[in-house]
Structure 1
Amino acid sequence: MADPARARKLAVRIRQIVSSAIESQIKDPRLGMVTVTDARVTSDLREATVFYTVYGDATQAADSARALASATGVLRSTVGRQTGIKFVPTLTFVSDVVPDTARELDAALERVRSADAELARLRENATYAGDADPYRHPEADDEPSDAAGAEAPSEQSRNAS
């Protein structure tokens, strides 16, 4: 097994090499606007998974996937030449679902914001069904007690004398 740090460094290097090679070497007309988002290498450095996104609709994504599959050999040899490692990992291209998930989360957050705004709008003119304060409070807290009122004059009369 290789060092995990070495696998991470190789994955970063593969991502850089593949993205620049797609831009400069691959001339397939089926290849759309492809962005390499991530690369992961297994711990034995034998297989690399390259994640990508395609700007466009589903047909452009499918065409780009076919173009990347046909260009895998060229890209693998480019990775081997530029990295100089003994065994060049096999490349597997996987469409990245993170942007789609982010769009779904943004849409869900927007729905929640609009529901909160609607609830706040309905709450502005709302009134309580019962009392505004439904809890019972002891009446002793509301009125001064007789013992406190009786002590106060006696203290005042002692001070006056």
Structure 2
Amino acid sequence: MADPARAARLAQRIKVVVAEALRKQVKEPGVENITLTEVRVTNDLQHATVYYTIFGDAAAKQEATESLERSRGILRREVGRNLTIRLVPTLEFVSDEIPETASQLEELIRQTKERDAALAAAAAGATFAGDADPYKSAADEDDEDDEA
């Protein structure tokens, strides 16, 4: 069992190798829009999960995903050539949904800030419906009159 630090270093190296292979070796349509975001390697160094994003419409995403699946063998061969490890890890490609989720969260935060600003503007000129201290009793009013 390898240590997690070695797995992290290997993951970074696999990310670089796969990105270079996508750019230079793979001649499939649609791979030019692929951005690798992260690679995770299991501690036994047998499996690597490659997370990627694709910018474009649904058709471009589908085409790029199919191209990645077809070129999995080429990419694994390039990883094996460029790494000095006994066993080459299997590659699994997973679409990374973080950018879409982040943009949705940013939109929700923007809407919340707009609502907060509208509420603050409405509250700026507001006054209390009754006295400033609604819990003032009649005995307190008599004390104030006596002091004056």
For these two proteins, the number of residue pairs brought into alignment is: 143
Shift in Å at residue 31 of structure 1? 2.4
Structure 1: give runs of 5+ residues left out of the alignment: 145-161
Aligned to 1:25: 25
1:17-96 aligned within 5 A: 17-96=17-96
SS of corresponding position for 1:35: strand
RMSD: 1.8
Which segment is superposed worse, 125-134 or 58-67?
125-134
Q: Which amino acid aligns with 2:51?
A: F
Structure 1, residues 90-131: CA drift from partner, whole Å, max 9, x if none? Answer: 000000011011011101101101111111221133221111
Separation in structure 1 between the aligned mates of residue 108 and residue 55 of structure 2, nearest angstrom: 22
Contact 1:3 1:43 in 2 (8 A): yes
Contact 2:36 2:52 in 1 (8 A): yes
Separation in structure 1 between the aligned mates of residue 97 and residue 108 of structure 2, nearest angstrom: 17
Divergent runs of 4+, >6 A = none
Shift in Å at residue 32 of structure 1? 4.2
SS of corresponding position for 1:107: helix
Contact 2:23 2:32 in 1 (8 A): no
Aligned to 1:116: 116
Shift in Å at residue 136 of structure 1? 3.3
Structure 2: give runs of 5+ residues left out of the alignment: none
TM-score norm. by structure 1 comes to: 0.82
Asked if 1:14 is matched to 2:18, the reply is no
Shift in Å at residue 21 of structure 1? 1.1
Q: Which amino acid aligns with 1:79?
A: V
Q: Which amino acid aligns with 1:114?
A: E
Which segment is superposed worse, 25-34 or 38-47?
25-34
Separation in structure 1 between the aligned mates of residue 147 and residue 76 of structure 2, nearest angstrom: 88
Aligned to 1:143: 147
SS of corresponding position for 2:31: coil
Which segment is superposed worse, 57-66 or 47-56?
57-66
Contact 2:50 2:92 in 1 (8 A): yes
Q: Which amino acid aligns with 1:143?
A: E
TM-score norm. by structure 2 comes to: 0.89
